[in-house]
Structure 1
Amino acid sequence: MATTYYDTPADLEHGETDQRLNHDKKEDVRDRSPEGRAEEPFGDEVNAEVRYRTMAWWQCGMIMVAETISLGILSLPSAVASLGLVPAIILILGLSAIATYTGYVIGQFKLRYPHVHSMGDAGEILLGKFGRELLGSAQLLFLVFIMGSHILTFTVMMNTLTDHGTCSIVFGVVGLVVSFIGAVPRTLQKVSWFSVVSFISIFAAVLITMIAIGVEKPGTGHVDATVKTNVYHGFLAVTNIVFAYAGHVAFFGFISEMKKPTDYPKTLYMLQFTDTVMYLVAAVVIYRYAGKDVASPALGSTGHIMSKVAYGIAIPTIVIAGVINGHVACKYIYVRILRGTDHMHKRSFLAVGSWIAIALVLWIVAWIIAEAIPVFNTLLSLITALFASWFTYGLSGIFWLHLNKGRYFSSPMKIFLTILNLIIVGIGGCLCGLGLYVSGKAIHDNPSNASFSCANNAS
């Protein structure tokens, strides 16, 4: 079946196609792909026992919403308290706009190279085998770190609900087991139904938190338009906002399991509208009534009873959002090992056993990370610095530069987009460098939360 390959985001908006690509589409895909693979990641599924390319655009959108709007929203009120109301609102809206654009570029890169299933595949196009290993390993580590952050939040939730009923390590193991069980389905379409529950869960939990804080008013009622801060505390808050938009690492995998990949822009806009509105409202309202001492995760900012209610309602999103990221991590290894074989499409012992073994190993590693860095904001900052800085921002700029090689100054629009994408690459580098500094300092300066401790880590 013929595929239309769009030149750039600007060209797509104007309905133009790349004439060089249209000249010989078959030659383009096979020659520009390092291994000459023109096929989709899952191959021919006509008579397959297990099919992967089954998601409608709205199902993909729900998965993207569930993956993105989870832990990130819980750290935003404390970020507002650290930065001040005006700078925080500007950053939430500004980073949202950039994340929308970079997500769009990822979709264009996927349309140009249909075989791309992961950041590793994209890295191979950019830098050959070295790029494949570099970006593939980084993607896997990023996802495992996010999985660890969900296990950490699970322990915080259990400590809150049970008043630290037992050792926090035990709660972490329970979170590990629950998440592993949720990782058993192999197709995203099945996981997409979980995502609906996840969204309802986080929406209800945040709504209850806002109402409870509005009634209790634990803060002084004073709102700072700006606050005096330093590079360390200010940038630590910035990284938490960046993390709230850090879903891009999984976008190639999500698009690969859509029935119509060309519908991807609709899923992206659905995601960005939903998360931006929720982030802005939740961050401002909770900060307004909780004050400068707002907790992170934000669900702990209410009174003792309402905090338990909010965490209880948030259980599905704490688990499911982690499971979605875990699914993408497992799928990366699974596809890489079994790609080009019939095993992915079967329910044989080898196929199912491989999936379960991969999931078990990855969730154990995630649990170790959660126990090693048991501070919520610090873990988010470290994840942002190492990975989200590039996967959400910097790499998309590089993708655009690759797609438009040799035409950077061919028109005024191209010149503008070239400058924009160079700035985006610079943003990624800045977030990475400064983020590593502030997260490293936070880990060094916080000895009160020892690794692998039974201590209560609830706010």
Structure 2
Amino acid sequence: MNVSTESRNHEIDGVDDYNFVPDLEKKQHPDDVSPEADDPFGNEEVGEVKYRTMGWWQTGILMVAENVSIGILSLPSAVATLGLVPSIILLLGISGISWYTAYVIWQFKMRYPHIHSMGDAGEVLMGRFGRDLLGTGQLLFLVFVMASHVLTFTVQMNVLTDHGTCTIVFGVVSLVVSCVGALPRTMGKVYWMSIASFLSIVAATVATMIAVGVEYKGSVAIAATTHHGFNEEYLAVSNLFFAYVGHASFFGFVSEMDKPRNFPKSITVLQIIDTSLYLASAIVIYRYVGEDVQSPALGSAGHLMKKVAYGLAIPTVLIAGIVNGHIASKYVYVRIFRGTNHMHERTFLSIGSWIAIGLILWVLAWIIAESIPVFNDLLSLITALFGCWFAYGFPALFWFVLNKGSWFSSTKKIFLGISNVLILAMAITLCGLGLYVSGDAINKNTSGTVWTCANNA
């Protein structure tokens, strides 16, 4: 740990975990931290490109656009596999845990203002090795999420055009459009696209709910609980978790806020909106379609309405992928140019590097999408490899770092310590079992479907 980090630790030793932020504000307000010393973007006063521009409500909507995208489309089939009652309990439980771990990430950012990514947080945990491990993991996670959007776009276009051309061509179209959409360098500009993304997925989901209600008229049987094989049920559980694992991007969101202390308000916006949408869409679509519901769920509407729903979902499939691509590119860009004038300049080197980074990452995402072309299996793999750690495992470790030396100082601390141990154990379980189950499913389901022009709808 470097000297500046140690000095920050010394300043706030002994401060209670839920009260240290106000105390920190008294000594050194988070919004007044020296840009040169602690902020990942340095001094922006004279820079051409300014990053710290977003209000808490903008950040909240941007987080909704990142989280409430294609993950919602897998939920009705997960409910069909697990049953109505277990699914509702799991969704509410996962939402509560995700809310808490997001708050811990914010606390960690307030304690160490220089953190911009999971890589920076890893350096605090484990030095240079931790920086490389968590930074690489975050980058791979985002690239895999980008791949899931490329895959969904190919399914979408095959539905809309009745397989009008080779599926690989649709993947290339998604690649090109996403690269162009990710050209802005600041989150503030990407925010405006995120509004369209959010409205798009809401419109598509509501259209599907209305369509299945009209078509099926509640004539199918639904089950409070179900009984399937372990692998199938665990894949469904992984898909529920995938809808909440956007935490890898939260350090970056806080870094581009004008007042980072307001991030808990952004978390509240995210959790209320996404959990409400998840419950409503999953329950209603399963209620009318039953166990035969498709994944992505938009395919469960009739022939015409399925096309309408997929058409409405075009902005969210593209834009939510662009948001993740922007965050991935920003991580690499900041890692390369942090502390230099290129961060705030519009030079050939700075602009050219930004474009090149985005292009390389989107090409990698396209390759992954063509190599793992099964929607649910790809989501489960992403959750097992990366999502469970960034959303649950590492935040639990952050809590222990934040409260080092006072884990048993009060009843509340003991309770929180036990809770974080359980959250860490949950992440380890999700990773181990998830890798086995998703690997087995990919092995069974991708035979003959990899790198093919065939219709994947």
Please indicate the TM-score interval, normalised by the length of the shorter structure: over 0.9
Number of residue pairs the alignment of both structures matches: 445
TM-score, length basis structure 2: 0.94
2:4 is aligned to: none
Percent sequence identity is 61
Cα offset, 1:193, TM superposition: 0.4
- Give structure 1 regions of 4+ aligned residues with deviation exceeding 4 angstroms: 3-9, 21-26
Equivalent pair of 1:124/1:131 in contact (CA under 8 Å): yes
Cα distance, 1:449–1:17 mapped onto 2, change above 3 Å: farther
CA distance in 2, matches of 1:305, 1:276: 29
CA distance in 2, matches of 1:8, 1:192: 34
2:214 maps to 1:190: no
1:254 is aligned to: 253
CA distance in 1, matches of 2:191, 2:82: 35
1:210 is aligned to: 209
Cα distance, 1:400–1:152 mapped onto 2, change above 3 Å: same
1:282 is aligned to: 281
1:428 is aligned to: 427
SS at match of 1:410: coil
Residue type of the alignment partner of 2:293:
V
Residue type of the alignment partner of 1:11:
N
Residue type of the alignment partner of 1:456:
N
> What do the CA deviations read for 1:293-318 (whole angstroms, capped 9, x no partner)?
10000011101110000000100000
1:142 is aligned to: 141
CA distance in 1, matches of 2:328, 2:303: 36
2:18 to 10, 15, 21: 10
Cα distance, 1:245–1:435 mapped onto 2, change above 3 Å: same
Cα offset, 1:17, TM superposition: 3.8
Cα offset, 1:372, TM superposition: 0.2
SS at match of 1:311: helix
2:399 maps to 1:391: no
2:346 maps to 1:338: no
Residue type of the alignment partner of 2:261:
T
Equivalent pair of 1:143/1:329 in contact (CA under 8 Å): yes
The within-5 A match list for 1:53-92 is 53-92=52-91
Residue type of the alignment partner of 1:105:
V
Residue type of the alignment partner of 1:287:
Y
Aligned alpha-carbon RMSD (Å): 2.1
CA distance in 1, matches of 2:127, 2:455: 47
Equivalent pair of 2:374/2:446 in contact (CA under 8 Å): no
CA distance in 1, matches of 2:446, 2:362: 26
Cα offset, 1:449, TM superposition: 4.9
Cα offset, 1:229, TM superposition: 1.9
1:416 is aligned to: 415
Cα distance, 1:8–1:424 mapped onto 2, change above 3 Å: farther
**Which stretches in structure 1 are left out of the alignment for 5+ residues?**
31-36
CA distance in 2, matches of 1:59, 1:9: 27
The within-5 A match list for 1:262-341 is 262-341=261-340
TM-score, length basis structure 1: 0.93
1:33 is aligned to: none
SS at match of 1:291: helix
Cα offset, 1:25, TM superposition: 9.9
Q: Which moved more, 1:228-237 or 1:320-329?
A: 228-237
> What do the CA deviations read for 1:9-57 (whole angstroms, capped 9, x no partner)?
5336xx8747xx988999xx99xxxxxx842000000111110001111
Cα offset, 1:450, TM superposition: 1.9
Residue type of the alignment partner of 2:391:
T
Cα distance, 1:24–1:312 mapped onto 2, change above 3 Å: closer
Equivalent pair of 1:218/1:291 in contact (CA under 8 Å): no
Cα offset, 1:218, TM superposition: 7.8
SS at match of 1:445: helix
Residue type of the alignment partner of 1:169:
I
CA distance in 1, matches of 2:448, 2:16: 48
CA distance in 2, matches of 1:140, 1:449: 29
Equivalent pair of 1:9/1:105 in contact (CA under 8 Å): no
Cα distance, 1:24–1:366 mapped onto 2, change above 3 Å: closer
> What do the CA deviations read for 1:234-258 (whole angstroms, capped 9, x no partner)?
1100000000001101000010000
Equivalent pair of 1:201/1:315 in contact (CA under 8 Å): yes
1:362 is aligned to: 361
CA distance in 1, matches of 2:53, 2:313: 28
Cα offset, 1:222, TM superposition: 1.0
CA distance in 1, matches of 2:326, 2:16: 30
Cα offset, 1:446, TM superposition: 1.4
2:5 is aligned to: none
